[in-house]
Structure 1
Amino acid sequence: MKKLRTVRVDIAINSSKEEVWDILFHKFGEVNAFNPLIEGSHLTKGSEGALGCERQCDLDSKNSIQEKIVAVRDNSSFDIEIIQGGLPMMDKMKATLEAKELTKNRTLVTAIIHYNTSPAFMAGIIKGSMTKTFFKLLVGLKYYMETGEEVTKLKIGDIMKTYKSMDANESFMMQEFATS
């Protein structure tokens, strides 16, 4: 068996842990609200926010992936596996999403992605790209949680520029920026 590579990214979100958990876990089928890399998503099996539930993420009009919640730990973390479809050269990919309360209205969200590729040598080459991709997803989550506005492929560029100019404790609610 090939060794799995790991990418870890995190972000502090100005929302309670319960609110973040609700979006990540209980609204599992609605990931398109904050993930700028997909065009749509919906639950395909089971109940929202339950062990074993599955969702389809539409990457575009022709490509999609199926994901499944395979483990849950309290109201703090859960594991997702891609069970069908996938990304080019990706042999296996799974992720853990964690929510940790920093203060009553501030939560640290961590995404830990384990993956390998075929051919195997590509795993090291795409690690930087994977890190950037999942960091964009977390910035999208922060934006969505703090503003209530959905994140799209068209908006993510402006959102990322604004995020990079923010101080660590700032909220998107305190920012002014143009939306395309």
Structure 2
Amino acid sequence: MKIQKTIKINASAEKVWEVLWGDYGQVCKWASTVNSSDYREVQGSNNGGRACMSTWGEIHEIVENLDIENKTYTYYADGLPAIMKSAKNTWKVLQKGVNTSEVSIDLDIEFATIPKIFMGWMIVPKMKKDVNQTLADLKYFIETGKLTEAKIKSDQKYFKKKGQKAA
């Protein structure tokens, strides 16, 4: 399954890049699909990765390519849920105007055969919804400095289950 999406954000590419790459380990600050995350040094990767507790479970990402000058990075997921064989994602930020940028995501996921056969009708729409929500979360966070309602609710649910208070 391939998902490619692009959104416009009313902010400079530098500001967007600072959130996406400069604070890479803290995606949990703004993405409703990620409730906790941290940067990790990864053997064999010059750029490290991150561990995320997401709505799909615990996922470890390893940065495969990083191009700071062109504001793009690609990571692949390790330790995926059993329903997925592989996942690779590329983020790219382009300056479009003085205070306008474009953010694109290029996600490629290969699902395990049996889960895809029996649960594909649920998995694919959820994945598309999650990508759309993540981009909406990013846009709202950068433009307003606030969290979306989806992020607030996601954290409340996650931390209630954990017996902790949401940030």
TM-score (normalizing by structure 2)? 0.77
Closer/same/farther in 2, CA of residues 131 and 58 from structure 1, 3 Å limit: same
Superposed CA deviations along residues 87-133 of structure 1, whole A, max 9, x for unmatched, are 45111001000111111111111111011111178286433332211
| Match among 70, 78, 96 for residue 73 of structure 2 | 78
Q: Take 1:20 and 1:51, find their aligned partners in 2: how far apart are those partners?
A: 22
Closer/same/farther in 2, CA of residues 9 and 87 from structure 1, 3 Å limit: farther
| Match among 50, 58, 67 for residue 55 of structure 1 | 50
| Match among 119, 127, 130 for residue 127 of structure 2 | 130
Letter of the 1:57 partner, please give it.
Answer: C
1:106-121 correspondence runs (5 A): 106-119=100-113
Superposed CA deviations along residues 133-177 of structure 1, whole A, max 9, x for unmatched, are 111001000011011124425179xxxxxxxxxxxxxxxxxxxxx
Q: Which residue is 2:33 aligned to?
A: 37
Instruction: State how many pairs are aligned.
Output: 146
Gapped runs of 5+ residues in structure 2? Answer: 156-167
Which one has a larger percent helix, Structure 1 or Structure 2?
2
Gapped runs of 5+ residues in structure 1? Answer: 157-180
| Percentage of identical aligned residues | 22
Q: Take 1:142 and 1:88, find their aligned partners in 2: how far apart are those partners?
A: 31
Q: Does 1:26 align with 2:22?
A: yes
Q: Take 1:120 and 1:96, find their aligned partners in 2: how far apart are those partners?
A: 27
Shift of 1:35: 0.8
